[in-house]
Chain A
Amino acid sequence: MALFLRRIMLMLSIAFVALVSIATALSTSGSKLLVVLDPSIKKEDYSIFFDDLKDRDFDLDFRTSNDPNLSLFSFGERAYDQVILTLPPTQKALGPNLLAKPLLEFMTSGGNILVLLNPAEHALGSVREFARELGIHLPFRDTKLVDHFNYDAAISPELHDAVILDPATDLVAAPLLQVDSTKKILYSGSAFVLGNNHLLFPILRASDTAYVYDPAEELLESDAPFVSGTQAYVVAGIQARDNARAVIVASSSMLSDEAFNAADSANRELAAGIAKWTFQETGVIKLKSVTHKLANTVEENPQIYRVKQDITYEAEISEWIDDKWVPFVADDVQLEFTMLDPYYRLNLTAVGASGDSEVYATTFKSPDQHGMFTFNLNYKRTGLSYIEDKRTVTLRHFGHNEFLRSFEIPNAYPYITSLVVVVVAWMLFIVLWVFSGPEKAPEKKTQ
């Protein structure tokens, strides 16, 4: 349901953009882009891809991996906001500045990485280690993805390694990537395996008849494929807990001008979609504000509530579309009211837009347990930025004057009446006793 609503929202928001041209989107995380271009790759072969990036206001800095001045960090801070890595065709290292550890540190400080594997040489040791940290298992050297059912007969009629992928079935993240599903995606290279990490964001996979084989080992028959079927992924990403993104594309040739210019090819839109997700242009949401208060009162965010009070919670969430923040509509945002365990887990309803964000609200009765409770808004969905917000409040117990009064309890009626009756009867008795006495004073007996 959530996917459907999100799809509708995205479709509406890009309705005015022609499908062929690339929307003017800007990155929320910065425009300094480093491209580590291996000398075996000619910049001219990827001119369309880089021009599209330049159109979206990125400052491209082209370096080679053995550039001595290349460093991801400068004086302890990130020197770039995004990195595109391309890899050499033979087993050579990328240099000490691009080992797995600096790449991971780049991600933990908020930078985004796009890795384009070489179709022939799939991983250097350092990149394989980096991918393994993310939960992605790269294939071995010289392996190839083939599909005897969906291949481009013009390019590889015999070897079937120019695979055609169908955006309708093979594109896992279709709503976020906005690719025309009537076109096809051309791919030639290998494929990797994903682990079970829930932070992974699978993007493009092979069809169920494809498989990866090693021409050296499995020349005659495929008896132990590295991966086969829909478990073979060609593009996959990860979004770390600090919202830094990394995407691995199993073959850089998918982004080349040849692939873009082929007939009926969706590669250009796919490349734009992948780049936009990686560089924080799409799928970016943020929590604008959170307020909680007693229902129908004005004071916001008090520190103390009482048990059994009606509390209203409101959160505002925006989404970055093209170049501005707009309200983000979803139906699966949840609030947890927790003290060690959640006492409430409620679906927040979208009540309406307020400025550039959508307001989500709910009202509930605070539980009858006193203690320190937390409003926990934990909205993590694959492909969208993670939102987590925790606010702690005190829930105090009833005050001595907040309990039921005795006259409101029917059980107490006999006691109250007996109290009143005693008081009244005592007054009557006093009057009767004090003012009673003989009519005359007693006379002494006289003789």
Chain B
Amino acid sequence: MLLRNVLVASLAVCVSSPLVSAWTFSNATLAINERSGTLQTHQFSVSVPLPEIVSLPSSALARLRFTVRSDLTPDTNNKPHQAYAIIEDPVTKLESSFTADVRENGRARVDIDYKTIPTALLGPNKPLTVKIVLASFGTEAPLKVEIGQILPAYNGPAPAGPIRFGSKPEIIHIFRPDPKFVSSAISLFFSAIVVTTAVALIGSWLHIGAAPSQLPKALASSPFGHLGFFASIIAIEVAFFNYYLGSTIFKLIAQISALAPIAFLSGSRALREFQQNGMIYVWKNAACEELREPTINWIILHLYLR
């Protein structure tokens, strides 16, 4: 363990120059390569980033090449321990790093393959910033510089991310629509037709001469009978109307059981009065009897003839 530490430390202190140096790179290019060839190439440097957002199609990879120098004197160690290209989503701050392959002469190459970009970083119109990090053990100043942005292609929705706790969208139940009613005006119009018909009918009765001519005489002879019966019938109708409007069945039964005996008694009085005053016409008058016999003879005659 100690030996290993000493080895690592010794690697770091290879520099013979007394100056404090810094990691840097030069001759840097970014190429978008597909199997068919290179689509585009851009140059960048530590101070000058990529001129525009470079788009990365889904079948391509972005190849960064640069030459690493820790300082300008020769015989220096050109391989930093950490040579990464980091792509980062500036909104969510998620990042993924790609290691660079650095050779002895300092030439380094990093491939950012579209297929190796984590799906959490992909999305519609989400450019990712690309940074290069060069650092190593020892006292040399490390380098972390943003060199530009790439825009990976977005091929439709990624699979849903992992479950995370948090509040979910509100749901408010949509009720079934209330039943629609016709406007009162149309309804009342038809009610008016009904009422008009009834008025016309009653008018026609009065027109052909219907009149309660026997009413005064009948009332005089049995006021309780006729008036009582009629009033009790009206009262029973009113009781039913109240039940329709919302009284309970028990109230209805109570009212009917109070009104029914009155109706019975007054009704029998009224019928007795009718019978006494000859208001009940028995079908025994001459006109009807005369009509009956020819009818029977006519039927028997036809039966014989069949």
Residues of A at under 8 Å CB distance from B? 2, 120, 142, 146, 148-149, 157-160, 196, 198, 208-209, 211, 213, 215-216, 218-225, 228-231, 308, 332, 334, 342-347, 364-365, 367-368, 380-382, 405, 407, 409-414, 416-418, 421, 423-425, 427-429, 431-437, 439, 441-442
Contacts and interface: CB of A to CB of B under 8 A. Distances in A.
B158 interface: no
Contacts of B176: 368
Most-contacted residue by chain B among A146, A382, A436 (CB, 10 A) = A436
Interface string B71-100: 000000001111110101000011111010
24 contacts: A2-B167, A157-B139, A209-B142, A219-B4, A219-B7, A221-B82, A221-B83, A221-B102, A223-B101, A334-B170, A342-B171, A344-B173, A345-B168, A345-B170, A346-B170, A410-B182, A410-B187, A413-B191, A424-B198, A427-B234, A429-B205, A431-B212, A432-B210, A435-B212
Contacts of B250: none
A208 B86 contact: yes
B46 interface: no
B304 interface: no
Interface of B: 1, 4-5, 7-9, 11-13, 79-84, 86, 88, 93-97, 99, 101-102, 133, 135-139, 142, 144, 162-173, 175-176, 181-184, 187-188, 190-191, 193-195, 198, 201-202, 205, 210-215, 218, 230, 233-234, 237, 245-246, 278-279, 285
Contacts, number: 179
A447 to B, nearest CB: 15
A413 B167 contact: no
Contact of B79 (A220, A343, A418, A427): A220
B269 to A, nearest CB: 14
Contacts of B79: 220-221
Contacts of B175: 308, 365, 367-368
Nearest to B9: A158
| The 5 residue pairs across chains A and B that have the minimum distance between CB atoms | A148-B135, A435-B212, A196-B162, A417-B191, A332-B167
A368 B138 CA distance: 73
B184 A439 contact: no
B95 A229 contact: yes
Contact of B166 (A120, A213, A381, A423): A381
A347 B167 contact: yes
A334 B168 CA distance: 8
B97 A228 contact: yes
Given A209-B142, A417-B194, A425-B202, 8 more contacts: A158-B9, A220-B11, A222-B82, A368-B176, A410-B183, A410-B187, A412-B187, A425-B198
